[in-house]
């Protein structure tokens, strides 16, 4: 399994055959990242409610925070939970929720709950969209009170050319993780650079379909996403 983290590194990585995400240290998560705790919550959405889960990092004080927006299916739920745990280990409060629909109303309700928490620094709240959740991230990502965004797209969600990075607010830090059948080579590099020109502060990672589809067990990619998000949230 190989993941190439940035567009600039794609061609060099192919020529050198040095994988960016070669086998990670097996016990990295257990030894170098602090433990996190889980909390089950209820989120009110108008006259109805939905179940949510919050992963809280170790330590006192306020932390950056993230709402993860994902489809309501077992695979996406597993990915969201794995990502939330990784984010908490990187010092972020991470909220996932179980909603029958992936829409902006549910996402806003989750964000409102997150901002009311005493352990959340309200100036550093972001959103992460997985699969069809990326369309919601694009819709609400321009909100002034959302300070960074991550979109994790599988090849089923369309090509990088369809991602429309210009939909994001130009002064916001945005990470787009795009699964591609051929994630390395000159064509992928060209597409990444083209996307980054459409929006300031946009970072694009081209990675394999296998990496994104297996994200719940992909320690290296989870760690890289957690690190990128934590650097913008603390």
Q: Look up residue 19 and give its two tokens.
A: 């994988």
CA-based torsion, 83, 202, 112, 121: positive or negative: positive
- The pLDDT score that the predictor gives to residue 3 is 44
- The backbone region for 34, taken as left when phi is positive above 0, alpha when psi lies in -120 to 50, beta otherwise, is beta
Q: Which helix (H) or strand (E) holds 50?
A: strand 48-57
Q: Edge to edge, what strands does the sheet with 48-57 contain?
A: 36-45, 48-57, 93-98, 63-69, 120-130, 148-153, 173-180, 202-208
Give CA angle at 161 (216, 191), nearest 5°. 90
In the three-class reduction of DSSP (H, G, I as helix; E, B as strand; rest coil), residue 113 is classed as helix
Structure tokens that stand for 191 in this block: 């597409």
Calculate the alpha carbon distances from 144 to 35, 141, 171, 172, 174 in Å.
Answer: 31, 8, 10, 9, 14
Query: What percentage of the chain exceeds 70 in pLDDT?
Result: 82
Q: Whole-angstrom Cα distance, residue 111 to residue 141?
A: 12
Say yes or no to pLDDT of 173 above 50. yes
pLDDT confidence band for 197 (50 / 70 / 90):
confident
- Measured N-to-C along each axis, helices 74-89 and 219-233 cross at an angle, to the nearest 10 degrees, of 50
Q: Provide the mean pLDDT of the chain.
A: 83
How far is residue 228 from each of residues 35, 101, 113, 127, 159, measured CA to CA in Å?
19, 28, 24, 13, 23
Give the CA distances from residue 142 to residues 111, 131, 154, 192, in Å, rounded to whole numbers and listed in that order. 14, 19, 22, 21
Exposure on the CB side of residue 40, measured as CA atoms within 13 A: 3
Q: Mean pLDDT check: name the lowest of 3-17, 44-58, 59-73, 216-230.
A: 3-17
Domains of the chain, by residue range, sit at 7-233
**Structure confidence at residue 30 (pLDDT):** 38
The residue-averaged pLDDT of 75-101 equals: 95
Segment 131-158 mean pLDDT = 90
Q: What is the mean pLDDT of residues 19-36?
A: 41
Nearby residues of 10 by Cβ (< 8 Å), 6 or more positions away: 4, 183, 184, 185, 188, 189, 192, 206
- Per-residue pLDDT at 27 exceeds 50: no
pLDDT at 165: 73
- Check residue 185 and give its pLDDT: 84
| CA–CA–CA angle 9, 13, 28 (5° rounding) | 85
The interaxial angle of helices 104-115 and 133-140, nearest 10 deg, is 70
User: By three-state DSSP, how is residue 85 classified?
Assistant: helix
Q: pTM, whole model, 2 decimals?
A: 0.83
The architecture that CATH gives domain 7-233 is: 3-Layer(aba) Sandwich (3.40)
Could you tell me which residue, 138 or 110, shows the higher pLDDT? 110
Average pLDDT (178-207) is: 87
pLDDT on residue 158: 83
More confident site: 63 or 165: 63
């Amino acid at each position: 399994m190989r993941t190439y983290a940035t567009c600039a590194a794609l061609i060099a990585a192919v020529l050198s055959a040095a994988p960016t995400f070669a086998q990670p240290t097996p016990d990295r998560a257990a030894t170098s990242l602090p433990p996190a705790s889980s909390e089950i919550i209820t989120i009110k959405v108008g006259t109805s409610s939905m179940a949510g889960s919050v992963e809280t990092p170790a330590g006192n004080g306020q932390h950056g925070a993230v709402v993860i927006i994902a489809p309501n299916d077992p695979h996406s739920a597993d990915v969201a939970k794995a990502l939330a745990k990784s984010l908490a280990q990187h010092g972020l409060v991470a909220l996932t929720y179980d909603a029958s629909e992936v829409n902006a109303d549910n996402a806003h309700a989750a964000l409102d709950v997150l901002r009311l928490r005493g352990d959340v620094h309200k100036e550093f709240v972001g959103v992460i969209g997985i699969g069809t959740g990326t369309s919601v991230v694009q819709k609400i990502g321009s909100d002034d009170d959302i300070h960074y965004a991550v979109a994790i797209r599988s090849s089923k969600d369309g090509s990088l050319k369809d991602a429309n990075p210009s939909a994001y607010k130009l002064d916001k830090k945005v990470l787009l993780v795009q699964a591609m059948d051929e994630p390395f080579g000159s064509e992928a590099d060209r597409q990444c650079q083209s996307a980054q020109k459409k929006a300031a502060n946009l970072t694009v990672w081209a990675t394999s379909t296998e990496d994104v589809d297996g994200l719940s067990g992909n320690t290296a990619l989870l760690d890289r996403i957690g690190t990128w998000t934590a650097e913008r949230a603390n």
